[in-house]
Structure 1
Amino acid sequence: MSSDSESETAGVKRRAALGTGAAALGGAALGAGLMAAAACADTVASQLPNTGEVVDNLQNSSHLFHLTRTDPQRFDGGTLQGAHEGSFPVLAGQNGSVYFVRLEPGGIREPHWHPSAWELNYHISGTAKWTILGTHSDGSYRTEAFEAHPGDLVFAPQGFFHYFENASTDTPLEVLIVFNTSAAETNDDIGILAAMNSIPRSVLATVLNIPESALAGIPTEVKPVVVTKRR
């Protein structure tokens, strides 16, 4: 075997060992829920470019990205500007992406969860109301509701249900979100509206213990809302 081949093989082994160690650490820290998430991450990793392609990409792609100069995705309650492997090629194979989120007064990030990514949220300006719902291995859900302010960091674990909204009636909220996936953010979330509408109304009414007629006013689309606004 040539020295180049041996180096590449060693690099692959090192990456595999690091991935296994990270999965074990995550499982020890966060329990069975994140152990399942780590298994999902291993599946994604197997689809990434090989070590040589990643190295070539790092050598040939620009390492500078003007995040806030990009055309934002505009929604009723705010905007998203993102850097992911589709818009910032150097991120391909790096398991990382970043989003700058701006919520106008009354703006709400749709309650959702990410099947294959955790996120770190750095609060730049404004005040956010947060809720994070975890797993229930001890027989009860763990839920946290709190406010985050400029300089605060909020971690939403992979697979945990969460949302945040602008708590102010007159000041925008700005948050920078880092994900451990290179995919576009909106391709990796399941929102509450789509989740509800993927279930037959009769089943949903039974689970909520309400008449089926009470659900008549809920929109029926199975689509992401992403960012909305209080009416």
Structure 2
Amino acid sequence: MSEKPVSDDRDEDAARVSRRHVMGTGAALGGAALGGALAATVGGSARAEHGSATPASDASAKLDTDAHLFRLAAAEPSRYDGGTLRGAHEGTFPVLTGQQASVYLVELEVGGIREPHWHPTAWELNYIISGKADWTILGTHPDGAYRNDVFEASQGDLVFVPQGFFHYFGNASNAEPLRVLVVFNTSAQEPNDDIGIVATVNSLPREVLAAAFGVPVAAFAGVPTEIEPVVITKRK
């Protein structure tokens, strides 16, 4: 009987190891992989819609030709009841086109809050320039329980919010304004890449909300019905 070539045995061993690796890894990371794939698909679509699908060659060319300086603090702010928002994104700072990046300066008055929301296609890094901020970040629940991270951040602190996590922050001081620098890994202009709690609630029928909260439909009678971004508001 002829012996099987050594290389064939090694090939079979490698195949078995490969199968074991795929099965083990798949069992542990299947949910994460599916979530990542969906996020990539949704994120890619959203970013393309907002002009972030710029060819790499065009984006690289802009790095050589466009201005690299943007005076963020001097930019004209968007004004809201409760504070202001200044943004550097591909619409105001063209060198960012195709770079999947944007930066915002948020200033909240006493009582000001950033509407509770989440970003479907971006994470964010928040640097507290001055003041104190109350934070709530609601995470996913792979073990069957939510993780609700509630804390206060002060001047010099850095807060990270993962992509898709529900969150909010507000001015925790009764005397001083809050200034926060927010960095996103998306070129989309705020609030084009966030879904706020007001629009979320109002997108659902009142009887569905009542069933979810376990209260009568009448409990939602006083809730406004608009489906639009609030961005920044103020405690009443």
Same fold (TM over 0.5): yes
The answer (yes or no) to whether the contact 2:199–2:226 under 8 Å persists in 1 is: yes
Q: 2:80 aligns with which of 75, 79, 87?
A: 75
Amino acid at match of 1:151: G
Q: 1:146 aligns with which of 141, 147, 151?
A: 151
- Hey, what does 2:127 align to over in structure 1? 122
Q: Unaligned regions of 5+ residues in structure 2, if any?
A: 1-27
- Hey, what does 1:203 align to over in structure 2? 208
Amino acid at match of 1:225: V
For residues 1-231 of structure 1, what are the structure 2 equivalents within 5 Å?
Answer: 31=32, 35=36, 36-43=38-45, 48-231=53-236
- Hey, what does 2:6 align to over in structure 1? none
Q: Percent identity?
A: 59
**TM-score, with length taken from structure 2:** 0.82
Moved over 6 A (4+): none
State how far apart, in whole Å, the 2-side matches of 1:45 and 1:182 are.
7
Q: Unaligned regions of 5+ residues in structure 1, if any?
A: 1-26
State how far apart, in whole Å, the 2-side matches of 1:76 and 1:189 are.
19
Cα offset, 1:58, TM superposition: 1.1
* SS of residue matched to 1:185: coil
Larger Rg: 2
Which digits, 9 at most, give the CA deviation of each residue in 1:172-222, with x for residues without a partner? 000000000011021110000000000000100110000000111101100
Cα offset, 1:32, TM superposition: 5.6
Amino acid at match of 2:198: L
**TM-score, with length taken from structure 1:** 0.83
Name the Cα RMSD after superposition: 1.9
State how far apart, in whole Å, the 2-side matches of 1:33 and 1:142 are.
21
Q: CA, structure 1 residues 33+77, in 2 after alignment: closer, same or farther (shift >3 Å)?
A: farther
State how far apart, in whole Å, the 2-side matches of 1:193 and 1:57 are.
38
Amino acid at match of 1:179: F
State how far apart, in whole Å, the 2-side matches of 1:227 and 1:33 are.
33
Cα offset, 1:41, TM superposition: 3.6
